[in-house]
């Protein structure tokens, strides 16, 4: 179990680095798929199968295919420029490392993370995550759920307005 | 049914969108009327419910009198944006570059962002809060890039999208840590469970950075000038008023309902943030040549004054902040109404283009002067009264140096606001300058906002009414 986690974790971090380092956008996109699949595996290890399936279906399936389509349609060629280490990049790197150290420091402390109200880990494993997510989505959180549908409509209208070819 | 105002706005947006499909070009002129009617009905509804409190969806959506004030401000700002963009969308402008297309989509997207802002102030859990925040911001990206054939507008849209997404990412990182620490989605519960720890401070820092982007506080203000300049001018007005109020609503919810009980002393930090924001905004505004960039930096410094309302013993600063927001709403929209009028007729955006406006259009120049004086805080206009209340909040909290800094900044701001007045009144008009025609819609917008700018400062009822609403609203984080 632990070994699987380490393997998946290492591969996902390496492929995430690959997204940044690869010069060809297609390679970057494929590295991203690899990273997403590893994350899906980690989710399965955590017993949240629904999130894992969604991760594979939505991210690795739908979004990445969209990325690849855009890359192919726009016919993007590799620029040949690699990341240069000038001052802004170094500052950004420093901030990122600091943030990473901060966040990893959090998990080393003795803070109790996780839900403290009705939805504890036991309650989730009792009912199963899919049933619980469905019940919450259409019960308690129906307002944000409906708000997201409006948001998607706005996104569609906006994409049409900005992307539409001019008629004259 | 306490969600009725939001539902009316969403319904109006759908009606406008659908009717746009069936209308001929000529008939589309009534779309802004419909949008405006929806906003007015929702306003009446909010005022009708105002004294009451109500809970919908088991506490996920709360209507209280304090939220009602915020909703009125959002509604008024969006109503004014509808008026400001009216002429541009129906094609009644002399300057072809100022025309905007697709009125149906424009107004429905504007109303959708309005509904997001209204859901935001009523949200009481992290998911609703974040989703309504996105519903308020994402439509704005589209509106900023509306004139996509214009390079500035496209660039502004792209910058706004990238930095907006970045700030959302930073914010949701902070919210995620808050959820992990508090163990609940409900703001009240998180507030009770929090205690200062390194993780808590990290979450606070990320949340402040996220809010700082939304509010354009220094040092998170880099996007403001380019976005304000590139966006269509009515949308610039909307960004500087409605979007800023939504950012304050978000800050208010997160600071007072969640972070409040755990943070015993943040006055010093907020005072520093307010100081650098107003000082840098003012300092850079002095050298601006483009009036929209100028207003961007002016609004950054105004945000510096506004966050002074979060200082001091809770919730005493709140009435002062909401009152100043109300004054700022009318004042800033008044100035923008004149800017929109001038751009509609001439397409000019440089400050030097305003020379001699008092000879050709004396009434418009007078309205602009009153608006600028109110922004600078000259008595008896509403901007002065608002600043007076805000400064007294800082003074009560014992931060006398902040009052001094803010007063000096107000004086400096008078200098650059007077630059425009000088162009309008002292510089001679061009030889062949003629009187520019004022459309009835813009004339009434200027009239209404002018009335607001003057009356909010003079009528005594506003501040007391707001203070009563704040006192009546339910507070979970009283223990602060």
Is residue A82 one of the residues assigned to a domain?
Answer: yes
Is residue B362 one of the residues assigned to a domain?
Answer: yes
Q: Which residues of A touch B145 (CB under 8 A)?
A: 162
Please tell me whether residues A46 and A127 are part of one structural domain: no
Please indicate whether, in this complex, the C-beta atoms of B198 and A154 are within 8 angstroms of each other: no
Please tell me whether residues A1 and A70 are part of one structural domain: yes
Please tell me whether residues A144 and A83 are part of one structural domain: no
Looking at residue B374, its pLDDT comes to 93
Whether A103 has its CB under 8 Å from any CB of chain B: the answer is yes
Please tell me whether residues A69 and A24 are part of one structural domain: yes
Give the total number of structural domains in chain A. Answer: 2
> A74: how many CB neighbours lie within 10 A of its CB?
9
Whether B141 has its CB under 8 Å from any CB of chain A: the answer is yes
| Cα dihedral B210, B212, B216, B220 sign | negative
Please indicate whether, in this complex, the C-beta atoms of A151 and B138 are within 8 angstroms of each other: yes
> What six digits make up the tokens of B478?
């009283």
Please tell me whether residues A75 and A146 are part of one structural domain: no
pLDDT digits (tens, 9 = 90+) for B212-234: 999 999 888 889 999 999 999 99
How far apart, in whole angstroms, are the C-alpha atoms of residue B169 and residue B175?
A: 10
Q: Is the pLDDT of residue A84 over 70?
A: no
Which residues, 6+ apart, have CB-to-CB distance to B210 below 8 Å? B167, B168, B170, B171, B172, B174
Please tell me whether residues A1 and A83 are part of one structural domain: yes
Looking at residue B126, its pLDDT comes to 92
| Cα dihedral B217, B219, B222, B225 sign | positive
Structural domain of residue B440, as residue ranges?
Answer: 4-473
Give the total number of structural domains in chain B. Answer: 1
The minimum CA-CA distance between B401 and chain A, rounded to whole Å, is: 32
Please indicate whether, in this complex, the C-beta atoms of A102 and B145 are within 8 angstroms of each other: no
How far apart, in whole angstroms, are the C-alpha atoms of residue B348 and residue B355?
A: 11
Is residue B150 one of the residues assigned to a domain?
Answer: yes
The minimum CA-CA distance between B48 and chain A, rounded to whole Å, is: 23
Q: Which residues of B touch A112 (CB under 8 A)?
A: 183
Contact B203, B192 (CB under 8 A): no
Please indicate whether, in this complex, the C-beta atoms of A113 and B102 are within 8 angstroms of each other: no
How far apart, in whole angstroms, are the C-alpha atoms of residue B164 and residue B140?
A: 10
Chain position carrying tokens 């009187």:
B435
> What six digits make up the tokens of B396?
């009560």
Looking at residue B480, its pLDDT comes to 36
Looking at residue B367, its pLDDT comes to 94
Please tell me whether residues A3 and A76 are part of one structural domain: yes
Of A106, A117, A160, the CB nearest to B189: A117
Contact B82, B143 (CB under 8 A): no
Burial class (CB in 10 A: 0-12, 13-18, 19+), B233: buried
Of A87, A110, A138, which closes a domain? A87
Is residue B480 one of the residues assigned to a domain?
Answer: no
Is residue B367 one of the residues assigned to a domain?
Answer: yes
The minimum CA-CA distance between B420 and chain A, rounded to whole Å, is: 35
Whether B115 has its CB under 8 Å from any CB of chain A: the answer is yes
Q: Which residue has better confidence, A113 or B452?
A: B452
Whether A155 has its CB under 8 Å from any CB of chain B: the answer is yes
> What six digits make up the tokens of B291?
């009036």
Question: What ipTM, to 2 d.p.?
Answer: 0.89
pLDDT digits (tens, 9 = 90+) for A28-71: 888 999 999 999 999 988 878 888 999 899 988 888 888 888 88
The minimum CA-CA distance between A30 and chain B, rounded to whole Å, is: 23
Q: Is the pLDDT of residue A167 over 70?
A: no
Residue A36, classed as helix, strand or coil, is helix
- Phi/psi zone of residue A128: left (φ > 0), alpha (ψ -120 to 50 degrees), beta? left
Please indicate whether, in this complex, the C-beta atoms of B142 and A142 are within 8 angstroms of each other: no
Please indicate whether, in this complex, the C-beta atoms of B57 and A117 are within 8 angstroms of each other: no
How far apart, in whole angstroms, are the C-alpha atoms of residue B361 and residue B99?
A: 22
Is residue A102 one of the residues assigned to a domain?
Answer: no
Is residue A49 one of the residues assigned to a domain?
Answer: yes
Whether B204 has its CB under 8 Å from any CB of chain A: the answer is no
The minimum CA-CA distance between A97 and chain B, rounded to whole Å, is: 14
Which residues on adjacent β-strands are paired with residue B61?
B56, B123
How far apart, in whole angstroms, are the C-alpha atoms of residue B5 and residue B260?
A: 29
Would you tell me the crossing angle of helices A87-108 and B198-215 to the nearest 10 degrees?
A: 140
How far apart, in whole angstroms, are the C-alpha atoms of residue B282 and residue B287?
A: 9
How far apart, in whole angstroms, are the C-alpha atoms of residue B80 and residue B448?
A: 9
The secondary structure of residue A19, as a DSSP letter, is H
Which residues, 6+ apart, have CB-to-CB distance to B107 below 8 Å? B13, B16, B31, B32, B34, B35, B82, B89
Contact A40, A52 (CB under 8 A): yes
Contact B68, B121 (CB under 8 A): no
The minimum CA-CA distance between B285 and chain A, rounded to whole Å, is: 26
Looking at chain B, the whole-number percentage of residues with pLDDT higher than 70 is: 97
**Positions of chain B with pLDDT lower than 70, given as ranges:** 261-264, 313-314, 474-480
Is residue A56 one of the residues assigned to a domain?
Answer: yes
Please indicate whether, in this complex, the C-beta atoms of A109 and B182 are within 8 angstroms of each other: no
Range A33-43 burial, b when 16+ CB lie within 10 A, else e:
bbbbbbbbbbb
Whether A107 has its CB under 8 Å from any CB of chain B: the answer is no
Whether A114 has its CB under 8 Å from any CB of chain B: the answer is yes
Structural domain of residue A168, as residue ranges?
Answer: 120-168
Whether A167 has its CB under 8 Å from any CB of chain B: the answer is no
Contact B233, B84 (CB under 8 A): yes
Residue B417, classed as helix, strand or coil, is helix
Q: Is the pLDDT of residue A83 over 70?
A: no
Looking at residue B443, its pLDDT comes to 93
- Residue length, chain B? 480
Looking at residue B479, its pLDDT comes to 39
Of A68, A87, A106, which closes a domain? A87
Strands B54-56 and B61-63: antiparallel
Is residue B206 one of the residues assigned to a domain?
Answer: yes
The minimum CA-CA distance between B120 and chain A, rounded to whole Å, is: 10
- Nearest one of A66, A111, A56 to B180, comparing CA atoms: A111
Contact B390, B321 (CB under 8 A): yes
How far apart, in whole angstroms, are the C-alpha atoms of residue B72 and residue B449?
A: 15
Interface residue of A91, A121, A142, A158 to substitute, partner B, most B CBs within 10 Å: A158
Please indicate whether, in this complex, the C-beta atoms of A102 and B115 are within 8 angstroms of each other: no
Burial class (CB in 10 A: 0-12, 13-18, 19+), B321: buried
Residue A38's CATH number? 1.20.120.1200
Whether A115 has its CB under 8 Å from any CB of chain B: the answer is yes
Closest-CA residue of chain A to B130: A144
Q: Which of B 12-71 lie inside 8 A of A, CB atoms?
A: 17, 56-58, 60-61
DSSP annotation string for B292-324:
HHHHHHHHHHHHHHHGGGGSSSTTTHHHHHHHH
DSSP annotation string for B170-225:
HHHHHHHHHHHHH--SBHHHHHHH----HHHHHHHHHHHHHHHHHHT-TTS-HHHH
> B306: how many CB neighbours lie within 10 A of its CB?
28
Please indicate whether, in this complex, the C-beta atoms of A162 and B148 are within 8 angstroms of each other: yes
């Amino acid at each position: 179990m632990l070994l699987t986690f380490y393997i998946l974790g290492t591969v996902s971090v390496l492929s995430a680095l690959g997204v940044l380092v690869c010069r060809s956008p297609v390679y970057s996109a494929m590295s991203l798929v690899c990273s997403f699949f590893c994350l899906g595996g980690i989710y399965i290890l955590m017993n949240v199968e629904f999130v894992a399936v969604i991760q594979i279906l939505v991210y690795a399936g739908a979004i990445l295919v969209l990325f690849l389509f855009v890359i192919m349609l726009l016919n993007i060629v590799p620029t040949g420029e690699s990341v240069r280490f000038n001052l802004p990049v170094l500052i950004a790197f420093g901030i990122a490392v600091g943030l990473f150290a901060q966040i990893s420091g959090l998990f080393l402390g003795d803070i109790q993370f996780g839900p403290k109200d009705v939805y504890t880990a036991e309650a989730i494993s009792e009912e199963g995550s899919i049933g619980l997510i469905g019940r919450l989505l259409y019960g308690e959180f129906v307002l944000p759920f409906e708000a997201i549908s409006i948001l998607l409509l706005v996104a569609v209208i906006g994409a049409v307005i900005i992307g539409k070819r001019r008629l004259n | 049914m306490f969600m009725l105002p939001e539902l009316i706005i969403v319904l109006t947006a759908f009606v406008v969108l659908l009717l746009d499909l069936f209308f001929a070009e000529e008939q589309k002129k009534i779309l802004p009327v419909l949008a405006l009617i929806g906003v007015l009905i929702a306003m009446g509804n909010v005022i009708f419910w105002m004294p009451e409190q109500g809970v919908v969806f088991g506490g996920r959506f709360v209507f209280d009198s304090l939220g009602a004030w915020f909703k009125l401000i959002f509604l008024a700002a969006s109503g004014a944006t509808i008026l400001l963009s009216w002429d541009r969308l129906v094609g009644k402008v002399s300057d072809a570059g100022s025309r905007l297309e697709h009125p149906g989509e424009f107004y429905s997207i504007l109303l959708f962002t309005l509904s997001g802002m209204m859901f935001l102030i009523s949200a009481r859990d992290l998911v609703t809060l974040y989703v309504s925040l996105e519903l308020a911001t994402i439509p704005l990206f589209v509106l900023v890039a509306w004139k996509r054939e214009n390079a500035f507008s496209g660039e502004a849209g792209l910058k706004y999208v990238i930095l907006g997404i970045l700030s959302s990412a930073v914010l949701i990182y902070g919210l995620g840590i808050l959820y992990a620490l508090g163990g609940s989605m409900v703001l009240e519960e998180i507030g009770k469970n929090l205690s200062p720890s390194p993780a808590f401070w990290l979450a606070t820092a990320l949340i402040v950075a996220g809010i700082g982007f939304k509010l354009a506080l220094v040092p998170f203000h880099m996007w403001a000038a380019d976005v304000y300049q590139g966006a269509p001018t009515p949308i610039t007005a909307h960004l500087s008023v409605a979007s800023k109020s939504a950012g304050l609503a978000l800050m208010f919810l997160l600071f007072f309902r969640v972070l409040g009980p755990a943070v015993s002393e943040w006055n010093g930090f907020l005072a520093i943030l307010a100081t650098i924001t107003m000082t840098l905004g003012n300092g850079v505004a002095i050298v601006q040549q483009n009036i929209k960039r100028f207003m961007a930096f002016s609004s950054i410094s105004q945000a510096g004054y506004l966050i002074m309302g979060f200082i001091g013993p809770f919730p005493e600063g709140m009435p002062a902040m909401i009152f100043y927001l109300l004054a700022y709403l009318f004042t800033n929209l008044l100035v923008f109404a004149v800017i929109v009028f001038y751009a509609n007729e001439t397409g000019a955006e440089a400050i030097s283009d305003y020379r001699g406006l008092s000879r050709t259009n004396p009434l418009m120049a007078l309205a602009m002067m009153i608006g600028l004086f109110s922004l600078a805080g000259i008595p008896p206009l509403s901007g002065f009264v608002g600043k007076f209340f805000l400064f007294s909040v800082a003074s009560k909290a014992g931060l006398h140096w902040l009052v001094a800094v803010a007063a000096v900044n107000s004086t400096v701001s008078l200098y650059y606001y007077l630059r425009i007045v000088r162009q309008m009144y002292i510089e001679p008009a061009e030889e062949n300058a003629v009187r520019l025609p004022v459309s009835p819609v813009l004339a009434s917008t200027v009239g209404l906002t002018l009335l607001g700018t003057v009356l909010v400062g003079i009528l005594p009822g506003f501040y007391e009414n707001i203070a009563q609403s704040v006192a009546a609203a339910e507070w979970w984080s009283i223990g602060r």
